Structure 1
């Protein structure tokens, strides 16, 4: 049975464009419309009775595959995506992959059958084969926050290494003499880039030791464990850069329970800029990603692809900024 995707592939346009032609929406240029009409005739395409009754086969729906919706960074990113999508009359379906490749693959297969118009991925595990498959089937897609291990595609993310350097410079300029790093999982490009930014600043320092980099798994529990380990093995550490805000929150909780005064004995900086950093005591200094702008830019890029305006694959990196709060503010008082 001929599908709307088959028509889009033959005409060299997006599914959304085919839908607009079928439904006689007058925002398609004449040349493109003629290509779609020829493809419809050549493939003997007939909209289903149900889609005729609804007025369109296309659902004007995009999907967002997130690794962990519980993480406040992805929750805030999801809100930005939904706001922007709604402003462009798009419905959003959210899928939680738990960073599992099999689960993500299943979502892609199901979403394709549901005639989703485009997909946003915040994925560490999207493989080159999946990228090739989506391109072959004409599925518009954009990666947000992260980049694929293999294959090229459109990506919207922030400047992770630059933000990490900003954090470490802030701690050192504030008076820290030995700065440690609580790192995220190194299979994630965001974690690797933030760790590299840390090393760019302190890697050649006479006090640096590889043991100052402790895994925190991007979780609160991981941050707690890392802070305890640093306090035990490197009691002279007086500054910590955590690779995300959840680990910073965990580190803060552990330090307070150990009787370490933050910020007088230990300065602490996170990364992401999520709202939870304002709920701690002291409030956390953080490197803020432009989360809303990232979500908005990713949706707008996806819409361009859905409209058949796909250009060269590109990586768009947005600036980050330091938000100084109580966990480091004392250093300048």
Structure 2
């Protein structure tokens, strides 16, 4: 049988209201009463109900994180930053994996509303009108992570256009002129479109106005394999490939290895994100480094330490390893 706040009050010979004030650090009791109540809470093993406490102090010490894929390494690094800040500030994190249709996102938003979370971090997904309507009714702070929207919501991200532009410039400076791209999901406005536009602009600024050698995947390892195959079939002249994620880049390396195409001697490969996969790849992957952990940490700090009002654009950098000569 679970211990209730009434059991604590009865044992301490005080009112339920006094026990509640002690739990929520509110005034109205002596130091002796506080020690007595806390001692009995410890002896009985009483665990306060977060929702019940939230009705009093208007906080449940819980935040929600919505993201489209919790299994990939990008998400793992971002979540590590979020959870470290949450732990430091004594908050719990509810992680919600969404889907492409949007139905699950709406369902999770309703669940987070019912749980009265204190804030939401919305990671790497486009903010649709129906999402924003639900969030607006919740009247809690929301921060976008690795995405932005047409709505007045603050975000933490890198400049994907500039990062892609710099990756292609890096390859150009290494002497490559025939550069292909394995892009993310076609039509994706968050990560795919700005990276593709950065890729195209870097080539145009170099005076290369040929048809862009671009194929599309979905940021995953498997589409790196199929994308590399398609790219070589359509554009056999390419000597370097820029991939819109490390996972796709590692998939591309796998395909090239199986086809006995040497990296970087015959073809160079650059990834995007700087996840642990890049460091562990064979050969170790040159990539565009996003500060993923700092991204999650910064967003959580914005959410929990003050009501967020401004945007944060973090710096990317080229991480040189062994897939480009």
Report the secondary structure of 1:98's partner residue.
coil
The C-alpha deviation readout for 1:154-186, integer Å capped at 9, x for no partner, is 111112111111111111111212101111113
Alignment of 1:1-333 (within 5 A): 23-25=24-26, 51=52, 58-148=59-149, 150-185=150-185, 186-203=187-204, 208-210=209-211, 212-305=213-306, 309-311=307-309, 314-328=310-324, 331=325
* Preserved CA contact (<8 Å) 1:289 1:320: yes
Stretch deviating more after TM superposition (170-179 or 209-218):
209-218
Question: Distance in 2 between the 1:53 and 1:196 partners?
Answer: 46
Report the secondary structure of 2:86's partner residue.
helix
* Preserved CA contact (<8 Å) 1:100 1:125: no
* Preserved CA contact (<8 Å) 1:101 1:126: no
Offset of residue 133 of structure 1: 3.2
Distance 1:137 1:280, change over 3 A: closer
In structure 2, list runs of 5 or more residues that go unmatched.
1-19, 28-48
Distance 1:25 1:192, change over 3 A: farther
Offset of residue 278 of structure 1: 1.1
Q: CA RMSD in A?
A: 2.7
Offset of residue 223 of structure 1: 1.1
TM-score by length of structure 2 reads 0.80
Question: Distance in 1 between the 2:71 and 2:304 partners?
Answer: 27
TM-score by length of structure 1 reads 0.78
**Greater Rg over alpha carbons, structure:** 2
Offset of residue 288 of structure 1: 0.5
Question: Distance in 1 between the 2:139 and 2:181 partners?
Answer: 42
Offset of residue 128 of structure 1: 2.5
Question: Distance in 1 between the 2:53 and 2:70 partners?
Answer: 36
